[in-house]
Amino acid sequence: MFKHLLVPLDGSEPAEAALPAASYLAGALGASITLLHLIERDAPAEIHGHRHLRGAAEAQTYLAEIARRLPAGAPVSTHVHEAQIDNVAAGIAAHIRELAPDLIVMCEHGGAGLRGFLYGSMAQQALALGTIPVLLLRPGRSQPAFALRRLLVALDGTPEHEAGLEPAAALARACGAELHLLLVVPTVDTLPGNRSAAGRLLPGAMTQALELEREECEAYLREQTARLAADGLSVRAEIRRGDPASVIAKGAHAAGVDLIVLATHGKAGMDALWAGSTAARVVSRTKIPILLVPVRTSSQTASFT
């Protein structure tokens, strides 16, 4: 389970949108919070029209004030990295080793347009460089108060993308939330690049193959649902057809979920583009909070119990 939450802040109001989620989770999980600021080289006074911290003394004062504003109960500490850095995402990843958090909670309010697309979200960059999950939130005046009542876990039927199941189950257990398992089987028209050519050449054969895939996925979901239900969790599952990123985003809104949980290889920017990253495309399609869980290799282990 998550016991130490790291919240990077830059002094802006949008970045502070991560604080309600961190406070909620700290209370539900009995976790501590570390507020982090990294001093950027040649930092601007404003970013996207919002205040941006530039000096160590200013940052110390700001983080101390934020800590006082947080609800009483969870232990809160502050950390200002005073040495100037050029890459904020790399700096956040470096502090995973230094501060030993097990979850990063951050609000994405960075660049849009071509530059934002090429460099990817700050959260995805931090995830690509680090080894722990990232809870990504989006700022917005119409955002409801953060609470977990229903979680959507996107699966693809493979063991490596089950990495999101354990933390999702742990969160559901701690918060009394329902799990909604969603598995998307593509259609011939929405096959990813490595299979789309075969689908165009042999559409009939590919249609039959996808139908068999759907049947296998139904059996897989029954097994996962039974396992989680046996552990006392409220679980429902469904299979949908189409483009995974679009279906996940639409399915999450239709199900009224409070959090989307995605296992991901952590690619950002152009790496995500060429890899056809579903996580990167889901992030761009929804304002629902997303928990990005790194896919573990055979040499990595993690426990969320």
Can you give the residue ranges of every domain in the chain? 4-137, 150-294
Cα–Cα distance measured from residue 36 to residue 25, given in angstroms and rounded to the nearest whole number: 17
Q: Helices 193-201 & 203-230, crossing angle to 10 degrees? A: 140
Which one is predicted more confidently, 24 or 278? Answer: 24
pLDDT of residue 305: 43
The CATH architecture to which 4-137 belongs is: 3-Layer(aba) Sandwich (3.40)
pLDDT (mean) for 230-243:
93
pLDDT band of 47, cuts 50, 70, 90: low
pLDDT band of 86, cuts 50, 70, 90: confident
pLDDT of residue 54: 72
Q: What are phi and psi of 3, to 5 degrees?
A: -120, -10
- The tokens of 11 are what? 């002094």
The CATH architecture to which 150-294 belongs is: 3-Layer(aba) Sandwich (3.40)
pLDDT (mean) for 238-266:
90
Give the CA dihedral 120, 122, 128, 129, nearest 10 degrees: 130
Do the domains 150-294 and 4-137 match in fold? Answer: yes
Gyration radius of the chain over CA positions: 20
